[in-house]
Every structure is written in structure tokens, then in C-alpha cells.
Amino acid sequence: MNNLKELKSYINEGEVDLDKIINDFSPYIRKIINNMVGENLSYEDKEEILADTFFVLWKNQTKNIIYLDSYIAGITRNLIKEKLNKRNITYNIEDYENFISYSNMDMFLEERIEIERCLKILKRKELEIFNMFYYYSKSTKEISYELGISEMNVCTKLSRIRKKIKKEFSKGGHYGR
């Protein structure tokens, strides 16, 4: 699979169409992961790689990516390598040598680690409100209406979530805690 498939075909109103790209590429990424690691990584680790692949792709969405499937494969393989290193699992470098060109790819490692820390401390309901505001760009009024809570409640919850996240960001450190 090295077809001419441009990233811009997945851009809708200036943002990556997550639904479309996840539906189109998840099977492909899962196949790469399973072929590369087999049973060496847990189910959770594999899902994390899958989610991080799309996140890294989103972070690079302004780049002019022409061979999207190769680009995505490169991200995935770099993430697998990262995860295997973290789990102290040895791997055959030859499996990755075709993708050396991606070794300079910005994987946003620091940021991903910070985000992981934040996700561990945020409750599901908190994430729901946070995503509605920051990803779906809904107003507090709209959020309050959809969730059936007061607008003030939405404001206070967002404030608390922001505080929690800022606290995690301020901890710093390469591999977090």
C-alpha cells in the first residue's frame, strides 16, 4: 500500500476528519501493529499506539502529505519502537530500517507524555465537557443545554479541569511519573 492518497482529502473545514480517517486507516494500522509486535505488547499498549498515531497525524496536519498511508505507517512504526523501548523489549532493527527516513519525524513525545498524565487524572465526565469545549468548540451555553446542567456549573467544571491539567504540565520531566 503506497498509493497516492493525500492528507488534504481528509481535511474538512480546516480540520482533520477524524471519523473518516480513523475508519479508513484503523484496520491498516492494527495490521502493522500486530505484524510488528505480535503478543509482545499488551492490548492496551496497542490501542495506545493506534490512538497516538492519529494524534501525531493531527499534529502534522499542516504538512503537505501526499503518500498518507506511508506517512501513517511511519508514525506507527516509530510509536511501536518507542513503546518496545519503554517496555524493555528487544526488537529486530531490520524491521524498522526501511523507515529510517521517519526517524526525524516530530513525534511530539514530551507532549504525549504530558497528555497521558492528564488523561490519567481526569474523570470521564470531565473529559466529556472538556472535549465539547476544546474539540467541538461548543459554547458553555450549548454544553449546559446538552448536558442538562447550569452554565455556571459548566464554567466551574472547566476551570477545575484546566487547573488540573496545568498542574500536570508544570510537573515536567521527560517520562513523567
Partner 1 sequence: MEDNNIIKEKVISKISISKFKEENKVIQKKKSYKYMKYAMAACICLMFSTGIVFAKDIESYIKKIFNNSTEAIDSAVEEGYVQELKDDFTYDNGLGIKVDNILLDDVNLIFSLSYRVEENNIESISINHFSIYTENEERIYQCDGTNQAYVGIARGMQQATLEKISEKNFKNTMILNLWENRNEFSELNIKITNLNIMYSDGNLKSLDGNWEFNIKISDTFKQSNEINYVFDGENEYIKSGYATIYPTKMIVKLELFEDYDINQIVDIALEDLSQYGMLFSLKNNERIFKHTNFDYIADNKELIIIFENIGSYMEMEDELELSLKTYNTKILLKRQNNK
Residues of the shown chain interacting with partner 1 in the complex, contacts defined by CB under 8 A: 18-19, 22-23, 26, 30, 43, 46-47, 50-52, 54-55, 58-59, 111-112, 114-115, 118-119, 122, 127, 130-131, 133-135, 139-141, 149-153, 155-160, 162, 165-166, 169
Q: Which is nearer to partner 1, 102 or 130 (CB)?
A: 130
Contacts of residues 26-31 at CB distance under 8 Å and 24 or more positions apart, as own/partner, are 26/50, 28/1, 28/69, 28/72, 28/73, 29/53, 29/72, 29/73, 29/76
Taking the complex as a whole, how short is the minimal distance between the CB of residue 51 and partner 1, in angstroms?
4
Q: Which is nearer to partner 1, 55 or 91 (CB)?
A: 55
Q: Which is nearer to partner 1, 98 or 153 (CB)?
A: 153
Spatial contact of 34 and 14, defined as CB atoms under 8 Å apart: no
Taking the complex as a whole, how short is the minimal distance between the CB of residue 23 and partner 1, in angstroms?
6
143 burial via Cβ count (<10 Å: 0-12, 13-18, 19+): buried
| CA distance readout (Å), 101 to 29, 31, 116, 155 | 19, 21, 27, 45
CA distance 136 to 159: 18
Taking the complex as a whole, how short is the minimal distance between the CB of residue 92 and partner 1, in angstroms?
24
Q: Which is nearer to partner 1, 85 or 159 (CB)?
A: 159
Taking the complex as a whole, how short is the minimal distance between the CB of residue 100 and partner 1, in angstroms?
27
